[in-house]
A and B are shown apart, each in its own frame.
Chain A
Amino acid sequence: SLQPLRAKPIPKSLRASQRKPREPEVASSLIKKIFSHYAKIKVARDALKIVEKCTERYFKQLSNDLEAYSKHAGRKTVEMADMEVLLRRQGLVTDKMPMHVLIERYLPLEYRKLLIPIAVSGNKVIPCK
């Protein structure tokens, strides 16, 4: 099914973004939705701009940390164990707040199904008991 190479007409609105690829970032609409949901009170537009900036820095820090943890374990791939170390360092996972509880609390069912068996076997919770 060889087709002649023909430039598809690109709508004007898309052309600008194709010329200059955007930096990958979480959509500001999503940041706004999540932050406002947790804030429970009105959030000024300027305040959301700060949250966006914080988010960028958060991911930069997170990338550094994940690299350090996986390197420390002699790997180039971030495994679930590294993610648990990260959440523990952030004070989110503790002895009283295991990772799977956070997963159950914050992530929708479709993602929980993907993570819980992995998290449990990675933790060796079942074999140890």
Chain B
Amino acid sequence: GGEAGMKRTAPRATLRRIIRKHKPELRLAANADLLVHLSFLLFLHRLAEEARTNAFEDKSTIIKPEHTIAAAKVIKHFKY
């Protein structure tokens, strides 16, 4: 929930191009790119929530680079 107001069109062609750049031999089944978009949204959601927590702990009202870097470090399956 809470998604109202945000335009949510997935950049489908771009997502496919990005994966092709990394793995030229890999094919994506129809609509699999939409799930790539979903995982990307959830990744940014996690990163944003973690960064916001870091900002609060820092008594900052704005998310700064260090809050984001620290957030990226604690997210599993992702090494910044």
Contact = CB atoms under 8 A, between A and B. Distances in A.
A53 B9 CA distance: 22
B19 to A, nearest CB: 5
Interface in A1-40: 23-27, 30-31, 33-40
Nearest to A87: B39
B34 A111 contact: yes
A41 B55 contact: yes
B6 A33 contact: yes
Interface residues of B, number: 57
Contacts of B35: 80, 83-84, 86-87, 99, 103, 115
A46 interface: yes
A30 B64 contact: no
Contact of A47 (B22, B43, B67): B67
B74 interface: no
B15 to A, nearest CB: 8
Contacts, number: 178
Contact of B18 (A24, A64, A83, A105): A24
B51 A47 contact: yes
What DSSP secondary structure best describes chain A's contact surface?
helix
The SS class assigned to the B binding surface is helix
Contacts of A57: 78-80
Interface residues of A, number: 64
A37 B25 contact: no
19 contacts: A23-B21, A26-B15, A35-B44, A39-B52, A49-B65, A50-B65, A51-B44, A53-B80, A55-B44, A62-B19, A77-B27, A86-B39, A91-B76, A91-B77, A92-B42, A102-B42, A103-B38, A105-B1, A106-B38
List the 8 closest A-B pairs by CB distance, nearest first. A63-B22, A24-B17, A38-B48, A83-B35, A39-B48, A77-B27, A50-B68, A42-B62
